[in-house]
Structure 1
Amino acid sequence: MAHPTHAMAACFRVRLTCEVTERSRLLAGAAEISRRLSSDADHLYIHQVCTHWRASTSPLVVYRPWVVSGRARRRGLIPTGDYSLHLPRRGAQRMEVGAPPAGFLYCYGTSWGWLSLVDDDRCPTRLVLWEPLSNTEIALPCPSPLTRIFLSDDPLVLSNWIAIATQLKGLIGQKTLLWRPGDADWTMMYEEGTFEIDTIAFLEGKAYYIDVQRNVVICDLNTGTDPSADPSPKCTRIYNVCSVVKRLCRCDRLHLVRGPPTACNGELLLEVFRLGSHPSLAEVYKIQWTLDLHVELHERVMDSLFVG
Structure 2
Amino acid sequence: MAAWSDLTDDVLEYITSFLPFPDHYRFGAVCKNLRSISKQKLHPPAPQLPWLVLEEENETRKRKFYSLSEGKHYSIEIPELYGRYICGSSHGWLFAVDSEITAILVNPFTRECYELPPFPEYYIQRCDPFEEMRTQIVFKAILSHDPKERSDFMAMILFGAEYTTPAFWRPGDASWTAIDVPKKYTVDDIVYFKGNFYLISNFSTLSVLHLVNFDPEPKLTEVGPQIEHVGGQKYLVDFDGCLLLIDRCCVHVGDDITNGVRCDVIEPNLEKNCLYDWSDIDDYALFLGRNSSIFVDSSQFPTCKKNSINFTHLTDSFSREEFGCHEFGIFDMITKTWSTYYPVEASPASIGSPVWLTPNPW
The correspondence of residues 105-144 of structure 1 with structure 2, limited to 5 A, is 105-120=84-99, 124=101, 126-144=102-120
Aligned residue in 2 for 1:182:
172
Q: Please say if residues 87 and 95 of structure 1, whose CA atoms lie closer than 8 Å, have aligned partners that are also in contact.
A: no
1:238 deviation in Å? 7.8
3-state SS, counterpart of residue 192 of structure 1? coil
3-state SS, counterpart of residue 181 of structure 2? strand
Q: Please say if residues 85 and 97 of structure 2, whose CA atoms lie closer than 8 Å, have aligned partners that are also in contact.
A: yes
Q: Please say if residues 168 and 174 of structure 1, whose CA atoms lie closer than 8 Å, have aligned partners that are also in contact.
A: yes
Moved more, 187-196 or 206-215: 206-215
Instruction: Return the structure number with greater relative CO, CA threshold 8 A, min gap 6.
Output: 2
Aligned equivalents of 1:263 and 1:105: distance in 2?
Answer: 29
Q: 1:219 to 1:281 in 2, by over 3 A?
A: closer
Aligned equivalents of 1:287 and 1:159: distance in 2?
Answer: 31
* Alignment deviations for residues 44-100 of structure 1 (CA, whole Å, 9 cap, x no partner): xxxxxxxxxxx98933x44432211249xxxxxxxxxx952232343322153x413
Aligned equivalents of 1:100 and 1:215: distance in 2?
Answer: 44
Aligned residue in 1 for 2:276:
299
Q: Please say if residues 285 and 297 of structure 1, whose CA atoms lie closer than 8 Å, have aligned partners that are also in contact.
A: no
Matched, 1:264 2:255: no
Matched, 1:68 2:34: no
Aligned equivalents of 1:268 and 1:212: distance in 2?
Answer: 18
* Alignment deviations for residues 162-212 of structure 1 (CA, whole Å, 9 cap, x no partner): 21122238xx31111111222222222243254363x42221122233357
Aligned equivalents of 1:239 and 1:115: distance in 2?
Answer: 33
Letter of the 1:119 counterpart:
D
Matched, 1:85 2:68: no
Matched, 1:152 2:126: no
Aligned equivalents of 1:165 and 1:259: distance in 2?
Answer: 16
Aligned equivalents of 1:271 and 1:165: distance in 2?
Answer: 20
* Alignment deviations for residues 123-145 of structure 1 (CA, whole Å, 9 cap, x no partner): 61x21101011111011112142
- State the TM-score, normalizing by the size of structure 2: 0.48
Aligned equivalents of 1:258 and 1:147: distance in 2?
Answer: 16
Q: Please say if residues 225 and 275 of structure 2, whose CA atoms lie closer than 8 Å, have aligned partners that are also in contact.
A: no
Q: Which has the larger radius of gyration?
A: 2
Letter of the 1:298 counterpart:
L
Q: Please say if residues 242 and 256 of structure 1, whose CA atoms lie closer than 8 Å, have aligned partners that are also in contact.
A: no
3-state SS, counterpart of residue 101 of structure 1? helix
Q: Which runs of 4+ in 1 moved over 6 A?
A: 237-240, 255-258, 280-283
Letter of the 2:156 counterpart:
I
Q: 1:237 to 1:168 in 2, by over 3 A?
A: farther
2:191 to 196, 201, 204: 201
Q: Please say if residues 156 and 168 of structure 2, whose CA atoms lie closer than 8 Å, have aligned partners that are also in contact.
A: yes
Aligned residue in 1 for 2:78:
99
Letter of the 1:269 counterpart:
L
Counting aligned pairs with the same residue, the percent is 20
- State the TM-score, normalizing by the size of structure 1: 0.55
User: Structure 2: where are the runs of 5+ without partners?
Assistant: 1-19, 21-40, 57-61, 124-136, 252-260, 283-306, 309-330, 332-362
Q: Please say if residues 179 and 185 of structure 1, whose CA atoms lie closer than 8 Å, have aligned partners that are also in contact.
A: yes
1:285 to 256, 259, 266: 266
| Pairwise CA RMSD | 4.1
Letter of the 2:194 counterpart:
E
Aligned equivalents of 1:66 and 1:242: distance in 2?
Answer: 33
* Alignment deviations for residues 248-268 of structure 1 (CA, whole Å, 9 cap, x no partner): xxxxxxx88774122213111
Q: Please say if residues 269 and 276 of structure 2, whose CA atoms lie closer than 8 Å, have aligned partners that are also in contact.
A: no
Aligned equivalents of 2:199 and 2:220: distance in 1?
Answer: 14
2:160 to 168, 182, 190: 168
Letter of the 2:269 counterpart:
Q
Q: 1:256 to 1:302 in 2, by over 3 A?
A: farther
Higher share of residues assigned strand: 2
Aligned equivalents of 1:181 and 1:259: distance in 2?
Answer: 29
User: Structure 1: where are the runs of 5+ without partners?
Assistant: 1-34, 36-54, 72-81, 244-254
